[in-house]
Structure 1
Amino acid sequence: SATVGCLCSESIWIFTFFRFLEGIGAAGGIVLSRSVATDLYHGRQLAKIIAFISAINGLAPIAAPLSGGLVAQIVGWRGIFLILLSLGICLTLGSLFFRESLPPDRRSGAGWKNVLKGFGDILREKGFIPASLAYACSISAIFCYISAAPFIIQQEYNLSGVQFSLIFAFNALVIACGSILSVKFSSVEKSLKFGALLAFFGAGCCLLLYFLSQSLLAYLVPVALMLFGLGFMFPSSTTLAMEKGRKYAGIASSVVGGLGYLAGGLAAPLVGIGDIKLASFSWSFVFLLAGLLLIFFCDHRKTRL
C-alpha cells in the first residue's frame, strides 16, 4: 500500500512519507532473514547461512542504484515503483505460506512488556553489543565508499557511466566473495579478525596512496582490498551477535540491523566534508579502526563456533 501511495503522490512531502512507510515494511524482511536462520540453525551451519544472507545484503546496496538507474532511464521513476509493487504483491502472496520458525516451547509472549524485556536482556548479554557495533563500523565504511564512489570515479577519473557501473558491479562481487569465503575459517572469531585486519589494511593503503599517487589503479586496488575484508566482517559479526541474542532472535536481528543502517546513514554525509576522496578514505579508516579495536579488545571467547 505504501508503494501505491508513492505512485499516487503529488508532492515531495507525501512521497517522502510513503517512502518512509515503505522502508518500515521492507525492514521486516531483513530482520526476519536473520532471525529465522537463527531459529533453525546453530554453530557452523548458522555461520554458513548468515554468510549467504550477507553476500546478498552486500550486493544489494551496490546493485540497487545501478539497476534502479537503468530502469529509470527506460521506464521512468514510476516504472521503478510499479516493479516494487509487483515484488510486494509476490512477497505478500508468499507470506501466506510462511510459518513460524521458532518452536512453541521457545516462544515468548506477545506485547510491549515482553518486547521491552527482550531488548533489556539482549543489551545486557555479554558480547552482543561489541559484535553489533563491529557490524555497524563495517556498514559505516561501505556507506562511505558507496557515497563517494560515483563522484570519484566519474568526475575525478572522468569515466563513463558504463565504466562506473562495471567497477561498481565488480566491487559488489568482491564483497560477495569475501562473505562466502568467511566460512572457510575454523571459527567465526578468526574470520572476523582476518576481515577486520584486511579491511583496515585496505583503508590504510587507500589513505597512504592518496598522498603518493592519483592514478586510477591506486584507487581501485586498495578499495577492492578493503571491500574484500568487509565481506568477511559482515557475516562474522552478524553471526556472533545473533548467537549471543539467540533467545530473542527477532529483537537481536532488529538491533543489529538498526545499528548498522543508523551508523551508515550518519556516516554517508561525512564524505562530503572537504575533499570527497580524502574524506571517504579517512572516515573509512576511522570506522574500521574502531571496529578493529572492538573486535580485538572485547571478549568473544565464549562464542566459539
Structure 2
Amino acid sequence: MEQKLAPSPKLTLAESLPLVIILGVVTAFDAMAIDMYLPAFGDIGRSLNTDAGTLQTSLSVFLIGLAVGQFFYGPLTDRFGRRAPLVAGIVLFIAASVLIAVAQDMTTFMIGRVLQGLGGAAGLVIPRAIVADLYEPRESAKVFSMLMQVMMVAPIAAPPIGGLLLGAFGWRSIFWVLAGIGVLAVFATMRVVPEPLPPAARSKSGIISALMASTRVLRLGRFSAFALSGAFTLAGMFVYIGSSAFIFVDYFGLTPTVYSFIFAAIAIGEILFGYVNIRLLNRWRERQILPIGLAIHAGFVALLVAALLAGFDSLIIVVLLLFLSLVSLSLIFGNVTALVMESAPGNSGSASSLYGVLQYVFAGAVGGLLGLVHNGTLIPPAAVMLVCAIGAMIAWWIAERSSPTTPASTRSTAELS
C-alpha cells in the first residue's frame, strides 16, 4: 500500500475540510451503528425469535467491543502508522455489518455486534491521533469541535433513516446500508487521508510491549488530569442521554414524537454552539476557552438542581436549563480533547486510546450510579450531572497546576512505547 506522507507545515481547518468531513463520518460510525437500528427492535425480535431484553443486550455487547477495541488501536497506530489500522478497522466494521445483515439466529447477530464495535472503535481512536499529528493545538481544537458537530448529527438523522429503511426494505437493509457507508469510507480514506506518522517516527517495539508500555502515558500528570476532565464531561452528557426518555416521556408525559423533537432541538443547539467555539478559537486559545465553558456548564447545571430542589420543575424551566447546560458542552469537548492530545507529545495513538477507554469507563460507571439513586424524580439525574460538572472543573484545575511534560520525560515515554 503506497503511503502518503503528511504535508508540512501543519494544516489548517479551512484548507482541509474534505479530510475533516471524512474523519467526522468515520468518527460517527459508532453513533450510526447504535441509533440507526433502534427503530427495528421489534422486527429484529420477531425475525430472530428473541425478546426485547436480549436485543437490549445487543447494544451492551456492541459497547463492550467499542471499549475493548479502543485500548488496542492506539498502540497499533504508534507501531504501524495511522492509516492502515484505520482502514483495517473500517473493513472489520463492514464485514461485521454484512454478518449481521445475513444473520439467521441471535448468536450470529451478537457476534456481529461485538465485531462491529471492535471495528467502529478505530473511528473513535485513530482520527484523534491523526488530528493531533496534522494540526497545531489551536487548529486541532477547531477540528475536534467540527468532529463533534458531525457526531451530533448522527443521533438526529440515524433513527429516522433507520425507520425509513425498515419500512421500505426491512431491518436487514439497515446493516447493508452501514456496510455500504463503510465501503465508501474505505475509498475516501485511501484517497484523502494522509499517513501522518512516517516509518522513522513509529515505535519499534513488539505489539505486546507496545500495549503494556502505552499505559505509562497515564503517568503524565497533565494528560491524566485533562483526560479526567473530558471523561467527567462526557459522563455528564451520557447521564442526560440515558435519562432523557424518563424525563420527557415518563415524568412530563410527552409523546415519543415530541420527545424526539426536543432531543433533536438540543442536539442542534450543541452543533450551532460548536461553530461558536470554532469562531472563538480564532481569537483565544483552547486553554483560555475551556475553563469558561466548564464554569458556564457547571453554573447552569447547578441552577437546574437548585430549581428542582425549590420545587420549580415545570417543563419550560427544565427544558431551558437543560438546553443551556448541554449547549455549553460545545465550549468544552473540542478544547479539552486538544489539550489531552497536546499533553502526550510523541504518543498520540496511545493517548487517544487511553482517553477513549477512560471516557467509556466513566460513562458506564456513572450510568450504574444513576441507576442506584433513581427515585422517580428529576433530582438524581440533575445531581449526578452536577457531580460530573464539578469533577470536570476539579480535574481541569489539577491539570493546569501540573508540570508540562518535559522533553526528557517525553523521550523516555516514547521509547517505552
Amino acid at match of 2:97: T
Alignment of 1:146 onto 2:247? no
- The 3-state SS of whatever aligns with 1:9 is coil
Change (3 A) 1:21 1:168: same
Change (3 A) 1:121 1:285: same
Change (3 A) 1:270 1:71: farther
Change (3 A) 1:24 1:55: same
Change (3 A) 1:5 1:289: same
- Is the Cα–Cα contact under 8 Å of residues 39 and 246 in structure 1 kept in the other structure? no
- Is the Cα–Cα contact under 8 Å of residues 125 and 349 in structure 2 kept in the other structure? yes
Alignment of 1:174 onto 2:272? no
Alignment equivalent of 2:127, drawn from 33, 45, 55:
33
Q: Whose Rg is larger? A: 2
- The 3-state SS of whatever aligns with 2:221 is coil
Alignment equivalent of 2:346, drawn from 232, 247, 252:
247
Amino acid at match of 1:244: S
Larger deviation: 116-125 or 146-155? 116-125
CA distance in 1, matches of 2:169, 2:240: 28
Change (3 A) 1:59 1:268: farther
CA distance in 2, matches of 1:251, 1:55: 24
CA distance in 2, matches of 1:271, 1:74: 38
Please list the CA deviations of residues 50-97 of structure 1 after superposition, one character each: whole Å capped at 9, or x if unmatched: 221122234445554555456445544323212112112222333443
Q: Which has the higher contact order (CA 8 A, sep 6+)?
A: 1
Unaligned 5+ runs, structure 1: none
Please list the CA deviations of residues 244-293 of structure 1 after superposition, one character each: whole Å capped at 9, or x if unmatched: 12312111111112211222233234434322632211111111111111
Alignment of 1:112 onto 2:207? yes
Larger deviation: 134-143 or 253-262? 253-262
Q: Give the alignment's TM-score, normalised by structure 1.
A: 0.89
Please list the CA deviations of residues 223-258 of structure 1 after superposition, one character each: whole Å capped at 9, or x if unmatched: 111112211111111000111123121111111122
- Is the Cα–Cα contact under 8 Å of residues 137 and 339 in structure 2 kept in the other structure? no
Alignment of 1:197 onto 2:271? no
Return structure 1 stretches of 4+ with deviation > 6 angstroms: none
Change (3 A) 1:101 1:114: farther
- Is the Cα–Cα contact under 8 Å of residues 31 and 253 in structure 1 kept in the other structure? yes
CA distance in 2, matches of 1:70, 1:158: 26
Amino acid at match of 1:287: C
- Is the Cα–Cα contact under 8 Å of residues 40 and 102 in structure 1 kept in the other structure? no
1:23 is displaced (CA, Å) by 0.9
Amino acid at match of 1:288: A
Larger deviation: 96-105 or 184-193? 96-105
Please list the CA deviations of residues 192-213 of structure 1 after superposition, one character each: whole Å capped at 9, or x if unmatched: 1111111111211221222322
Change (3 A) 1:263 1:86: same
- The 3-state SS of whatever aligns with 1:247 is coil
CA distance in 2, matches of 1:62, 1:270: 27
Q: Which residue of 2 aligns with 1:89?
A: 183
CA distance in 2, matches of 1:302, 1:51: 26
Structural RMSD (CA) = 2.4
1:216 is displaced (CA, Å) by 0.9
CA distance in 1, matches of 2:368, 2:298: 21
- The 3-state SS of whatever aligns with 2:346 is helix
Change (3 A) 1:140 1:61: farther
CA distance in 1, matches of 2:211, 2:112: 27
Q: Which residue of 2 aligns with 1:286?
A: 387
CA distance in 2, matches of 1:71, 1:267: 34
Alignment equivalent of 1:52, drawn from 138, 146, 168:
146
Alignment equivalent of 1:206, drawn from 291, 304, 307:
304
Percent of residue pairs identical: 26
CA distance in 2, matches of 1:241, 1:163: 37
- The 3-state SS of whatever aligns with 1:245 is coil
Count how many residue pairs are aligned between Structure 1 and Structure 2. Answer: 303
Please list the CA deviations of residues 16-74 of structure 1 after superposition, one character each: whole Å capped at 9, or x if unmatched: 22111101101101212111111111132222112211222344455545554564455
Larger deviation: 224-233 or 265-274? 265-274
- Is the Cα–Cα contact under 8 Å of residues 189 and 300 in structure 1 kept in the other structure? no
Alignment equivalent of 1:262, drawn from 361, 365, 375:
361
Larger deviation: 134-143 or 47-56? 47-56
